[in-house]
Structure 1
Amino acid sequence: MTGRSIRGAVVVTLATALSLSAAACSKPSGPDGGGSGSGAGDSAVVGIAYEPDSLSPLLGYGKDGNSKIFDGLLTLDAEMKLHPALATALPEVSADGLTYTYRLRKGVKFSDGKPFGAKDVVFTYRTILDPRTNNASRTELDALKSVEASGEDTVVFHLKYPYAPFAQRTVLPIAPEHVAAGQDVNTGAFTTHPVGTGPYLLTKWSKGEKLSFRANPDYWGGAPKVKKFTMVIIKDDDVRATRLRSGELDGAILPPNLAKGFAKDSGTKTYAATTYDYRNVTLPTHNKVTGDTAIRRALDVAVDRQAMVHSILNGEGRPAYGPVPTDSEWFTKGTERAHDPAAAKKILDDAGWKPGKDGIRVKDGVRAAFPLWYLTGDKLRQDHALAYASDAKKVGIDITTESGTWEVIEPRMKQDAVLAGGGSPADPDFDQYSLLKSSLAGDGFNNMARYENRTIDQALEEGRRKGDKAARKAAYDTVQRELVKDPGYTFLTHIDHLYVVKDRFGALTTQVEPHDHGLATGPWWNVEDWTPKK
């Protein structure tokens, strides 16, 4: 199994986006399928774009929290602040920052009735750290040296070095040792038939079509009022909007141009979630064209990011100059790049890329042309790809846009550019390390451009190893400034996620969201707390 970063698609949070069969466009049926989204008041049916490869937290599912089937030691509230979940309190941290101690909640049971305890926490983290486990996010736990149980209700983590955001890593869902330990971690039944402590139980997973859940009546946090919850997987944005309008769905994630069509609909509400979710173009270093730094630098200033925000996102987003949004405290002021085609042309001229008879530049017999792939059915990626290609053409670079499933795209990533995405609000280490670290080049959807920059490698290590916030900020400033000089990707926009939901429930909220959206995010991030209107 190829390791896939949560950065790539739902993969990219979940785990990764899959190609969907024709069944994804068929109408769900059956009692769990939610053929109608306006049925019983205690049920909800929502449309999402992607599904995970696996429902096992040991393989990366739910690693950022809100998995619905599982709980972590900690959880995040609407303001993205940490709160106890399976732990009774936030961790006790030693003075040197190397030991984290968690006291566990007593009386919690897994959905099969077996008790939860410290051994399950130890099993979960040790299994993820095992090299035989196909978890592409293992590097996120690089700081963890060991984990041990101290009695039945205490767990102690020992770190190799002080890692400031370690507590945020412990929102990771806990798997039951008595179930998962007795089977192959990568292929066993637990990957599709999970057993957890969460507010919902999976009743059915029809691959490429839907995931059906029912409320856990014995949930330690109280039984959810929404008793049945169905996530219908609809890859195509237009189809998702059509099925929401027809009444088949109670809610759906939609791109801005489709969400605005519901603005005057008195029966729905639109919820906007600010995000760290960016769209970028990978520029593979193994391609004769995109491997040239001059080409990458030229494209970085040739692109009109503000026009993309205006025309593609209808203003629901911001220009992106790197993985960190411009309104984040971690953003490095002065790294913004203006749309400047003249500067792009000069960069190419100075590097020996001269216009040919057809206007496309050539250097040493190599034509400045390459393909750019985007995920089939993803209108936002398609529109970004077309706009990017148009801007590139104006400076003499010929980009041919192509669509395909991830199964088609992945084998081509070493040579071909991809309209990709990523972003995590939890901590700058969470996204940047897997995106830029040279040792992860070619590791599934990690470092898709196979980018190598020693200065950035060093800064990434400093950023995750230093405990002082000012020192960490300096490290990530170095990363962002270096990306201006040596871009391995062209960052385009940071996208606000829009969700349209039938007005059948009380006031809903959203969190600041990562790239991954669907199962764990949107207004249904806390569906267990929804109160249906009477």
Structure 2
Amino acid sequence: MNETEIHGMVAEVKEGKLSRRGFMQRLAAFGVAAPTAWHILDFHGVAQAQSLTAYKPTKAGGGGPLKILLWQAPTLLNPHFAIGTKDQEGSRVFYEPLAGWDNEGNLVPFLAAEIPSRENGSVSADGLSVTWKLKPNVKWHDGKPFTADDCLFTAAYAADAATAATTIGTYKDIKVEKIDDLTIKITFPKPTPFWADAFVGAAGMILPKHVFEPFKGAASRDAPANLKPVGTSAYKFIDFKPGDILRGERNPDYHIPNQPFFDTVEVKGGGDAVSAARAVIQTGEFDYAWNMQVEDEILLRMERGGRGKAIPVSSGNIEFIMLNTTDPWTEVDGERSSVKTKHPTLTDPAVRKAINLLIDRDSVQKFIYGRGGKATANFVNAPPRYVSPNMKYEFSIDKANKILDDAGWVRGADGIRAKDGKKLKFVYQTSINAPRQKNQAIVKQAAQRAGIDIELKSVTASVFFSSDVANPDTYSKFYCDIQMYTTTMLQPDPERFMLQLVSWEIANKENKWQGRNISRYSSKEADEAFQEAQNSLDPARRTALFIKMNDIFCGENILVPVLARTRMAASSNNLVVQPSGWDLDLWMLNAWFRP
């Protein structure tokens, strides 16, 4: 299929001769994913149809309790402080954005009255502004009205560097104006092709101005609502024990008629992925479990005679290994892994290249993850148009040895390579999880055969992914040489995802380690590519720029991709959920029900 044929089909959609669904189905036949098709239609000004769910309730409530397992337990409930997905999920129980993403990459309104588009005149043709109409008669859980002032406040709150929000990259460069109580206009400094970022999805949850205003900026961490949220969602806060459990009850004033179905919601944390899967699929003790990072063989065995099932959903998530080019063992100005330092051995490109060759991705996929992932050499693996054709992976201990030999790393009497008095000895950390520990062991075994000594470190998931700035073992601190985890792509466009690769997002003491660039590595070329991509209205050029960023970080072996992760959850057989690979698992918790 060529560009002319695509333009012809877009014209048919505009003329009403072809439905949006038909357009997406035709492109799917040629390997073009739904999110990409959505972007093509949006770029050409074709209005987006609102997604429909299967939920057809006759009244709200009556469904009894809903019991959910997040085995990586939430530690706070402010979505703009969430480092790990678990804290975003916990926050989403109570807070809502203007819109979210369904599994086909379509925008679905929550606090918005409608989805902006060029057709309805709310998205400017020059890419410089978008206007959102807000839903009327929405109340915060304390009874106060939701208005445009809450949107303006949330944007200013997140954009304030002193707040140290993880979402600062989304809000810092935009201007949000109040047109009236139920209308806001976002103005961008330059043409912005991906306007659906601020107030959308995981980064878009809106905070109540009247609750958080006294805690903007440096006082942000002192807000009681960081642990006792006041939102607009289908469930009102009851109580929360960080690292353990949170509870909510049905909101009788919820703004969507006849929702939610369940009377209460309980989100339990702790344990591990296998016990969570067992509690849903085998015993039926819980209704739903998030993030089933469990060996596929175990899941299949549970499904054969159990009360539930695994739910695989395609996504842009990536399980990867990160190599530290800063020094995690030397403290400078009160922080380790400071950009003011250099790693004694991992700054050598030959060492990083050798480590990349020691990752047996195919074995990890075949013997550990199965349906849960596919071996890859790319950091960006979805939508398909953004996947680089330039990166390849290979497992070769022989080639790794040759690279190290040629670079002057010589084996000592203990078998460990050294150069200029510095040994190839590394601490490799990840969260406690059986597939990850097996993955670590595979890498360690291969590294030993190449003269590299690796000490394995495993951190409890609730600690590793904690948003606690005082904890030294969080992945954002990166106080080790090598680490491994999954990063999630929570929208069908790579822009926000790629903030992990820009210099102004480097995690450090100044931003309370909330920056999204955990690797600390920066590239002028990558920075420039991102800035251009942000403002390019040419889809092909924008795609090429994101591929360039991917290739810089993967080509330098700073980010060493392992698996493109399938998002895997567990659900009881009698629960209907609304899964999406482009938003949080709990993005549409309001619409879950039992038939």
TM-score interval (norm. to shorter): 0.7 to 0.9
- Give the whole-Å Cα distance in 1 for the aligned partners of 2:520 and 2:541: 27
Where does residue 177 of structure 1 map in the other structure?
Answer: 209
Where does residue 186 of structure 1 map in the other structure?
Answer: 221
Q: From 462, 465, 483, give the equivalent of 1:418.
A: 483
- Give the whole-Å Cα distance in 1 for the aligned partners of 2:65 and 2:179: 41
Matches within 5 A, 1:220-235: 220-222=255-257, 223-235=259-271
Report percent identity of matched pairs.
Answer: 24
Equivalent position SS for 2:138: coil
Q: From 404, 412, 416, give the equivalent of 1:356.
A: 412
Equivalent position SS for 1:264: helix
- Give the whole-Å Cα distance in 2 for the aligned partners of 1:203 and 1:510: 25
Larger relative contact order (C-alpha < 8 A, sep ≥ 6)? 1
Judge conservation of contact 2:63–2:593 (CA < 8 Å) in 1.
Answer: no
Letter in structure 1 aligned against 2:289 = A
Where does residue 426 of structure 2 map in the other structure?
Answer: 370
Equivalent position SS for 1:45: strand
Where does residue 24 of structure 1 map in the other structure?
Answer: none
Change (3 A) 1:328 1:394: farther
Where does residue 532 of structure 1 map in the other structure?
Answer: 594
Change (3 A) 1:293 1:422: same
Name the one with the larger helix percent: 2
Letter in structure 2 aligned against 1:391 = A
Judge conservation of contact 1:278–1:495 (CA < 8 Å) in 2.
Answer: yes
Equivalent position SS for 1:312: helix
How well do the aligned residues superpose, as a CA RMSD in angstroms? 2.5
Q: Is structure 2 residue 100 aligned with structure 1 residue 54?
A: no
- Give the whole-Å Cα distance in 2 for the aligned partners of 1:186 and 1:66: 15
Judge conservation of contact 1:56–1:191 (CA < 8 Å) in 2.
Answer: yes
Equivalent position SS for 2:393: coil
Where does residue 26 of structure 1 map in the other structure?
Answer: none
Of residues 59-68 and 366-375 in structure 1, the stretch that sits farther from structure 2 once superposed is 59-68
Where does residue 136 of structure 1 map in the other structure?
Answer: 166
Of residues 122-131 and 262-271 in structure 1, the stretch that sits farther from structure 2 once superposed is 262-271
Judge conservation of contact 1:373–1:409 (CA < 8 Å) in 2.
Answer: no
- Give the whole-Å Cα distance in 1 for the aligned partners of 2:582 and 2:456: 28
Letter in structure 1 aligned against 2:123 = V
- Give the whole-Å Cα distance in 1 for the aligned partners of 2:187 and 2:303: 51
Where does residue 68 of structure 1 map in the other structure?
Answer: 93
Judge conservation of contact 1:256–1:314 (CA < 8 Å) in 2.
Answer: no
Matches within 5 A, 1:216-255: 216-222=251-257, 223-244=259-280, 245-253=282-290, 254-255=292-293
Matches within 5 A, 1:359-438: 359-375=415-431, 377-404=432-459, 405-406=463-464, 407-410=471-474, 413-426=478-491, 427-434=493-500, 436-438=501-503
Aligned residues, how many?
A: 483
Judge conservation of contact 1:371–1:417 (CA < 8 Å) in 2.
Answer: yes
Post-superposition offset of 1:212: 0.9
Post-superposition offset of 1:219: 0.8
Matches within 5 A, 1:115-130: 115-130=145-160
Q: Is structure 2 residue 322 aligned with structure 1 residue 256?
A: no
Post-superposition offset of 1:224: 0.6
- Give the whole-Å Cα distance in 1 for the aligned partners of 2:300 and 2:77: 33
Judge conservation of contact 2:316–2:383 (CA < 8 Å) in 1.
Answer: no
Post-superposition offset of 1:500: 2.2
TM-score, structure 1 as length reference:
0.84
Q: Mind listing any 5+ residue stretches in structure 1 that lack a counterpart?
A: 1-39, 515-519
Post-superposition offset of 1:242: 4.7
Q: From 313, 318, 323, give the equivalent of 1:278.
A: 318
Judge conservation of contact 1:284–1:448 (CA < 8 Å) in 2.
Answer: no
Post-superposition offset of 1:64: 9.2
Judge conservation of contact 1:202–1:213 (CA < 8 Å) in 2.
Answer: yes
Letter in structure 2 aligned against 1:374 = T
Judge conservation of contact 1:283–1:291 (CA < 8 Å) in 2.
Answer: no
Q: From 45, 57, 67, give the equivalent of 1:45.
A: 67
CA deviation string 1:308-353 (max 9, x = no partner): 1111213421113232127732001131222233322222122111
Q: From 332, 349, 352, give the equivalent of 1:293.
A: 349
Judge conservation of contact 2:98–2:112 (CA < 8 Å) in 1.
Answer: yes
Where does residue 195 of structure 1 map in the other structure?
Answer: 230
Post-superposition offset of 1:233: 0.2
Judge conservation of contact 1:279–1:381 (CA < 8 Å) in 2.
Answer: no
- Give the whole-Å Cα distance in 1 for the aligned partners of 2:382 and 2:183: 40
